[in-house]
Amino acid sequence: MSNYKFPFEKLNVWQRSIELADLIYELTKTFPDDEKFGLVSQLRRASVSISSNLAEGISRRSFKEQAHFTSIAFGSLMEVLSQSILSERKEYISKNDLFKVRELGFELSNKINALRKYQLAQKTKYVEEPRAEYGNELSELEPLVEQLNNLTSEAIDYPIESVEQLNDLTIEPDYFAHPTAIIDPKVQIGQNTKIWHFSHIMSNSVIGETCNIGQNVVVSPDVKLGNNVKVQNNVSIYTGVICEDDVFLGPSMVFTNVINPRSAVNRKNEYLQTIVRKGATIGANATIVCGHNIGKYAFIGAGAVVTKEIPDYALVVGNPAKQIGWMSEHGERLVFDENGMAVCSGSRDRYLLEDGVVVKRDLNN
């Protein structure tokens, strides 16, 4: 009994898929450590998924179910091929290694497609009538296995015109961009965001949902804007800036990303990060000197020049900016009593000032 082989083990396509998994495991041994949970994990999981789904599929009595698992196996094969191409581009594997994966992958795509076509073409619903007892049902699948091993098919089971049609498809964005706006490649823009006249969104930037990007705005590479960020006209958001959710950037306010710029000196490797925390407001024509973070719900007055870290809820004005009070999340000035408590006149929320730090209090506290 120990030498018994299950029907799926006798399938040529399953055997070849195991060989592909062996190859992938061997190739990924030399990948960089920082890819352990990236390409290494993705490639190994996808390669194992091929044989696993073929095995599960062939054990099902319904041809429809069988075809379902065979389709999943085919999809996993495409994942392996795509990730292997990326691995070669990153120089994790050689061109010869990629050729081995492609060669075996092409053979498997033939076999998997042939198997799927066969399963979908069957007029009967079941391989055989289901039984109440398990018994030796698996052994009765062996004649079918012999038949399946003789199947052949083209690697692609749809006309090439279909691929060309897919390449011609365009997906309507779920955000609005004015025709004069420029959106570079490799940009992530969330749903319901609006980008207005003459604005430029540069590569690798991320803009969240329901943002409003006004006229003549530049969002530089690698900038990250959270959800519901409002950017008014004539603002340039430079590399190194991160704005969390609900941030307001007033008209013509200014970010910087280098402390000591010189036209003749390249300081791209010296960009400093500036984080504007959730709900903060920066007024018109204010300047934020790079490397100084703005606390959540802080309020920077119009024309202020920020040269240091700004606490949560702080109200600052002037050049250089100085703190003159505190603001609520609703945008109202807070007046604290002798116990350090204040109530927002707009929302009726309560705030506590203790040791120079403001926190919003729950209604029950």
Domains and CATH numbers, the chain: 7-168 (1.20.1440.60), 176-327 (2.160.10.10)
Nearest to 221, CA basis, from 177, 186, 253 = 186
User: Which range scores top for mean pLDDT: 109-118, 156-165, 301-310?
Assistant: 301-310
8 Å CB contact between 184 and 166: no
Give how far Cα 157 sits from Cα of 74, 117, 161, 223, 298, Å. 12, 9, 12, 43, 59
8 Å CB contact between 269 and 283: no
8 Å CB contact between 7 and 138: yes
Give the lowest-confidence range in 66-70, 172-176, 198-202, 317-321.
172-176
* Both structure tokens of 22: 């062996």
Q: Where does the pLDDT of residue 315 fall: very low under 50, low under 70, confident under 90, or very high at 90 and above? A: very high
DSSP string, 252-304: T-EE---SS-BTTB--GGGPPPEEE-TT-EE-TT-EE-TT--B-TT-EEPTT-
- Order of strands, sheet of 200-201, starting from the edge strand that comes earlier in the sequence: 182-183, 200-201, 218-219, 236-237, 254-255, 287-288, 305-306
pLDDT at position 364 over 70: no
Mean pLDDT of the chain: 87
pLDDT at position 1 over 70: no
pLDDT at position 164 over 80: no
Report the pLDDT value the prediction gives residue 258, as an integer from 0 to 100: 95
Share of residues in the chain with pLDDT > 70 (%): 84
* Of 233 and 37, the one with more pLDDT: 233
Give the lowest-confidence range in 163-172, 261-270, 336-345.
163-172
Average pLDDT over residues 125-142: 47
Q: Where does the pLDDT of residue 158 fall: very low under 50, low under 70, confident under 90, or very high at 90 and above? A: very low
pLDDT at position 211 over 70: yes
pLDDT at position 245 over 60: yes
Share of residues in the chain with pLDDT > 90 (%): 66
pLDDT at position 132 over 50: no
Report the pLDDT value the prediction gives residue 134, as an integer from 0 to 100: 36
Cα 22 → chain centroid: 29
**Strand, helix or coil for residue 245:** coil
pLDDT at position 237 over 90: yes
Q: Where does the pLDDT of residue 354 fall: very low under 50, low under 70, confident under 90, or very high at 90 and above? A: very high
pLDDT at position 83 over 80: yes
pLDDT at position 223 over 80: yes
Supply the Cα-derived Rg of the chain in whole angstroms.
30
* Of 129 and 72, the one with more pLDDT: 72
- Helices 12-27 and 39-58: crossing angle in degrees, nearest 10, is 170
* Of 145 and 251, the one with more pLDDT: 251
pLDDT at position 137 over 60: no
pLDDT at position 146 over 50: yes
Report the pLDDT value the prediction gives residue 21, as an integer from 0 to 100: 95
Average pLDDT over residues 328-334: 97
Residue matched to tokens 């600052």: 316
